[in-house]
Amino acid sequence: MKEIDGADFRRNIDLDRKHVWHHLSQHKPYEESDPLMIVKGEGMRVWDVKGNEYLDAVSGAVWTVNVGYGRTEIADAVRDQLVTMNYFAQTAGNVPAAQFAEKLLDKMPGMSRVYYSNSGSEANEKCFKMVRQIAEKKYGGVKHKILFRERDYHGTTITALSATGQFERKNQYGPFTPGFVEVPHCCEYRPQEGADLENYGVWAADQIEKVILEEGPETVGALCLEPITAGGGIIEAPVGYWDRVQEICKKYDILLHIDEVVCGLGRTGKWFGYQHYGIKPDIVTMAKGVASGYAAISCTVTTEAVFDVFKEPEDPRMDYFRDISTFGGCTAGPAAALVNMQIIEDENLLDNVNVQGEYLKIRLNELKAKYEVIGDVRGKGLFAGFEMVKDRITKEPVCESVVAKVVAACLSYGVIIGRTNRSFKALNNNICLSPPLIVTKNDIDVIIDSLDKALADL
């Protein structure tokens, strides 16, 4: 990409500094280095306002651009749809919403209804409201509590944060919505004191049952879990965990809510992360990769059994899910999502995720063999990373500044990678990789080479 005229890019950066409030960023003096301003993307590459090229190994920094940049077929579909019909409240129907719902549900056996909104946080909020309304309709309001897991993340609104197991994400934003209760994590690399290490998956799930019994099973309406903990460190549950979780939910009549906001739409090598583990959820939420960032869309997907609860004729005036999402009626989202899903099918990207994911894991383990600072390599498909430690025996985590240094070094080498960012008191020590599903072996080599140089410089 040709560098933009100096005066032009300087003005845009100055405007950014003066007027834009950035996400997840410390306020910095004007004299410090220029903020990164991305102006173009193609495939897996992006360019900043100064003309510098980067390989994007995190799909837009937040696990979103699954099919890569510059997809004219998606942009064209959105443009054509907006000209025909851009928006009408979802109290009515629209063609792309109906068509995408059919295509999506075809990939989700057992699920049958799609509720549209525009972000992962909102999709989870809808689920929480469904659970609360079900508690009122079926259980006199008693079965209203929602369990969430330590280290999982479910969104940025106050109620979504109420269901988030990350201290620093939540710090300074309380008081939170009542009725949300944390259950222990399932990170095998850092098991709880006294854990059964030989059968850790079942043991970790049993800790959920203990919380249910402490709270009172009659008060617990749902359990909200990520299929693979994402921002909390890319944690895959151990063998036996999910079978036991489902037994527990069935035993106590608890809805199982799987948050696929990060893992959904092919990131792990199946359409959804939960499909690796034989999980039969009651509610699934998704966003991010649903349209690969070409339009805002999220979905709260339920079984017909959940949908039917809202048809019980106790009070005809209240006999529906009393909720609305303004931009859930925007047609751009499902129009983009339809083409996004078609690209994944036509280009066999799920196969690519599995092949390249295995290669990525091999290359990461090569780095682990070379650098003692890597304590554990984790992940599935194109959703991987590693935990950095001061000592492999004690597993003492490195300071967050060390991880930030690795990220900054990779950026200087032209590769954008991710990290756990101000989420925990002591465990912000994870490097995160989630390249677009179109990644090649050569791209992975470029990513690993940049990490290799960054780690060598520590």
Amino acid at 147: L
What CATH number is attached to the domain comprising 194? 3.40.640.10
In a domain, residue 1? The reply is no
Position 15 scores a pLDDT of: 87
Rounded Cα–Cα distance for residues 385 and 376 (Å): 9
Position 25 scores a pLDDT of: 79
Q: Are 255 and 204 members of one domain?
A: yes
Rounded Cα–Cα distance for residues 399 and 256 (Å): 35
Q: Are 100 and 212 members of one domain?
A: yes
Q: Are 220 and 171 members of one domain?
A: yes
* Pairing assessment for the beta strands 283-286 and 298-302 based on DSSP bridges: antiparallel
Position 29 scores a pLDDT of: 63
In a domain, residue 338? The reply is yes
Position 6 scores a pLDDT of: 54
Q: Are 119 and 142 members of one domain?
A: yes
Q: Which of these three, 346, 370, 389, is where a domain ends?
A: 346
pLDDT, tens only, 100-152: 999 999 999 999 999 999 999 999 999 999 999 999 999 999 999 999 999 99
In a domain, residue 238? The reply is yes
Total residue length of the chain: 458
Q: Are 400 and 299 members of one domain?
A: no
Check whether 312 has a pLDDT greater than 80: no
- Which residue, 419, 440, 452, is CA-closest to 61? 419
**pTM more than 0.85:** yes
Check whether 30 has a pLDDT greater than 70: no
Q: Are 205 and 266 members of one domain?
A: yes
Q: Are 179 and 278 members of one domain?
A: yes
In a domain, residue 357? The reply is yes
pLDDT, tens only, 278-292: 999 999 999 999 999
Q: Are 169 and 284 members of one domain?
A: yes
What CATH number is attached to the domain comprising 361? 3.90.1150.10
In a domain, residue 331? The reply is yes
Q: Which of these three, 290, 325, 346, is where a domain ends?
A: 346
In a domain, residue 222? The reply is yes
Q: Which of these three, 346, 363, 384, is where a domain ends?
A: 346
In a domain, residue 339? The reply is yes
Average pLDDT, the chain: 94
Q: For residue 227, what are the contacts with CB-CB under 8 A and spacing of at least 6?
A: 258, 259, 260, 263, 268, 272, 273, 274, 276, 277, 279
Check whether 242 has a pLDDT greater than 80: yes
Q: Are 439 and 450 members of one domain?
A: yes
pLDDT, tens only, 46-102: 999 989 999 999 999 889 999 999 999 999 999 999 999 999 998 999 999 999 999
Rounded Cα–Cα distance for residues 284 and 114 (Å): 9
Q: Are 198 and 322 members of one domain?
A: yes
Q: Model confidence at 257, in pLDDT bands (50, 70, 90)?
A: very high
Domain count, the chain: 2
Phi first, then psi: give them for residue 368, nearest 5 degrees: -60, -40
Rounded Cα–Cα distance for residues 338 and 328 (Å): 15
Q: Are 374 and 245 members of one domain?
A: no
Kindly state the DSSP code that residue 397 receives in the 8-state scheme.
B
Q: Which residues of 46-82 are buried (b: 16+ CB within 10 A; e: fewer)?
A: bbbbbeeebbbbbbbbbbbbbbbbebeebeebbeebe
Domain of 340 in residue numbering reads as 72-346
Q: Are 270 and 376 members of one domain?
A: no
In a domain, residue 301? The reply is yes
